[in-house]
Structure 1
Amino acid sequence: MLDWNPALYSRFEDERTRPARDLLARVAMDPAGVANVVDLGCGPGNSTELLVERFPHASVVGTDNSEAMLDKARERLPAATFQLSDIQDWQPDVAPDLIYANASLQWVPGHETLFPRLLDALAPGGTLAIQMPDNRDEPTHRLMRELAAKAPWAKAIGDFSRFRTELMALDGYYDLLAPLAESIDVWRTAYQHPMESPAAIVDWVRGTGLKPFVDRLSPELQESYLAAYERRIDMNYPERSDEKRLLAFPRMFIVARKA
């Protein structure tokens, strides 16, 4: 997959940052006792900024596997530390008090071993805070897959089942972490985003879930795929009373405290 597009991702920054704020609001940690914080998969730094504000005396490190995203994050927060790394291989230099992963772990396979490893990497009493989009079954993502299986796009896109990790059920994550944690809080909610048009919904997902599909297409095939996709979005997200389209976006939250 080609590198991420920070400008496209940030086009809906307020909407993307809202669940990051909601996740952080459930992290019950006294800022005075927090020395080291890691933003795992920090993107353009919008979530890192929340952490810097919440923990002004801590060392806050943002990590990402995209140089383009890290460049934007460094522009945004020149005093913070940002590092290039892959979450699958990431290991902290110092055990963090907080590992915060907002909308990043859904791209990483092997949650059965990854999540316990991240909890174990914390300092004693530390917190693992995770938010993941849980929208694979929403029309936005179902339609991506349906079109990817059709001609003339199927051959170029290939096996799209590996583009994103299939999440466990929420209670599965609870069962995975509860025996290892002093406390655990899990919840799921669906945000409702009023969007100006079907094209706006397409722009939203082009910054994330749609990207690996269109990256594999030639310019001509991209154009036809996106046109067909937008037509289907139009049919599946009808106009509301104010002429906008309501985009439902389910998200999963996990906050686990290490003993």
Structure 2
Amino acid sequence: MTTPAWDPAQYLRHAGHRARPFADLLARIPPLPGARPRIADLGCGPGNATARLAGRWPTAHITGYDDSPEMLGAARAGHEGPTAGGGRLDFAHADVRTWTPGEPHDLIVSNATLQWVPGHADRFADWTAALVPGGVLAFQVPDNLDAPLHVLMRELAATPRWRSRLAGVLRRTDSVHTPGAYLDRLARLGCATDVWRTTYLHVLPGEDPVLDWVKGTGLRPALTALADDPEARDAFLTAYRDLLREAYPSAPYGTVLPFRRLFAVAVKEA
């Protein structure tokens, strides 16, 4: 899989729809043990979701971590600094594949990031070990690699015209585990674990909105691989757009994008 170059502006074009799963995840997190919690957000992106943590825990010291300079720049410019409740929000560069907390945490949270991290379930032991008693590990990931937007992307990338440029570029179909696999892994680490799935029916406005959506996320590796050849990039986008138009037809009220996500909240034994 190619390490994608991220575009904060493109990602934020659908910020409202993308924020809802994070709000649903936060709603299932129980009260944290510390009066001034220490919180880490792994894969913070442009920081708009990280800022929601300060609304829920206004006294917390919250650090958002990301390995994209573009995303970190947007996060720092838009959200870094003291919070209204006396806490603090800051951002730092880190590779989630190797990040280990340097101090005890009340909450480690990740929003739509772990699907990009090969072997992420193997990191759970280190992360839960760093939680204080009663601390929480919580995450949500897209769970829709069998959906048309991903299937069509992979099939197009495997055609003779594109396979030499895009072989091994896109996310693998095993980049997200089953709900049972996550529950078993976290429960064996001594956590009370809640795992669930939700399918959102996003009604998207405008022309070719599903293409616009995926250009901010799942399509980034292909766009990165073709960045040095604008003509090829545009040809790929045109072919993919035509496939998406057929798979996600527009209606008078917009285009419906069904999007399944997987959630997990694991509470360390107090």
Q: TM-score, normalised by structure 2?
A: 0.90
Q: Distance in 2 between matches of 1:34 and 1:251?
A: 30
Q: 2:37: which partner in 1?
A: 35
Question: Do the aligned residues in 1 keep the contact of 2:33 with 2:106 (CA within 8 Å)?
Answer: no
Secondary structure at the aligned position of 2:192 is classed as strand
Q: 1:74: which partner in 2?
A: 76
Q: Which aligned pairs between 1:66-215 and structure 2 lie closer than 5 A?
A: 66-79=68-81, 80-160=89-169, 166-197=175-206, 199-215=208-224
Question: Do the aligned residues in 2 keep the contact of 1:122 with 1:258 (CA within 8 Å)?
Answer: yes
Q: Distance in 1 between matches of 2:136 and 2:56?
A: 14
**Correspondence for 1:237 among 239, 242, 248:** 248
Letter in 2 for 1:257: V
Q: Distance in 2 between matches of 1:111 and 1:85?
A: 14
**Correspondence for 1:45 among 28, 44, 47:** 47
User: Structure 1's 115 and 32: CA in aligned 2 closer, same or farther, altered over 3 A?
Assistant: closer
Task: Give the gaps of 5 or more residues in structure 2.
Answer: 82-88
CA drift of 1:230 comes to: 0.7
Q: 1:63: which partner in 2?
A: 65
Secondary structure at the aligned position of 1:47 is classed as helix
Q: 2:264: which partner in 1?
A: 254
User: Structure 1's 164 and 42: CA in aligned 2 closer, same or farther, altered over 3 A?
Assistant: farther
Secondary structure at the aligned position of 2:208 is classed as helix
Secondary structure at the aligned position of 2:100 is classed as coil
Q: Distance in 1 between matches of 2:162 and 2:129?
A: 43
Q: 1:228: which partner in 2?
A: 239
Q: Distance in 2 between matches of 1:20 and 1:33?
A: 23
Cα offsets for 1:6-58 (capped at 9, x unmatched) = 00001100111111111001001158634200111100001111111111111
User: Structure 1's 111 and 85: CA in aligned 2 closer, same or farther, altered over 3 A?
Assistant: closer
Task: Give the gaps of 5 or more residues in structure 1.
Answer: none
Q: Distance in 2 between matches of 1:187 and 1:59?
A: 28
Question: Do the aligned residues in 2 keep the contact of 1:107 with 1:165 (CA within 8 Å)?
Answer: no
Q: TM-score, normalised by structure 1?
A: 0.94
CA drift of 1:93 comes to: 1.8
Letter in 1 for 2:235: S
Q: Distance in 1 between matches of 2:142 and 2:190?
A: 23
Cα offsets for 1:193-229 (capped at 9, x unmatched) = 1122562111110111011012212211111111111
Question: Do the aligned residues in 2 keep the contact of 1:39 with 1:47 (CA within 8 Å)?
Answer: no
User: Structure 1's 133 and 34: CA in aligned 2 closer, same or farther, altered over 3 A?
Assistant: farther
User: Structure 1's 45 and 112: CA in aligned 2 closer, same or farther, altered over 3 A?
Assistant: closer
Secondary structure at the aligned position of 1:12 is classed as helix
Q: Distance in 2 between matches of 1:181 and 1:52?
A: 28
Question: Do the aligned residues in 1 keep the contact of 2:67 with 2:95 (CA within 8 Å)?
Answer: yes
CA drift of 1:179 comes to: 2.2
Question: Do the aligned residues in 2 keep the contact of 1:109 with 1:165 (CA within 8 Å)?
Answer: no
Q: 2:84: which partner in 1?
A: none
Question: Do the aligned residues in 1 keep the contact of 2:116 with 2:175 (CA within 8 Å)?
Answer: no
Question: Do the aligned residues in 2 keep the contact of 1:143 with 1:229 (CA within 8 Å)?
Answer: yes
Secondary structure at the aligned position of 2:92 is classed as strand
Q: CA RMSD in A?
A: 1.7
Q: Distance in 1 between matches of 2:70 and 2:259?
A: 26
Question: Do the aligned residues in 1 keep the contact of 2:142 with 2:261 (CA within 8 Å)?
Answer: yes
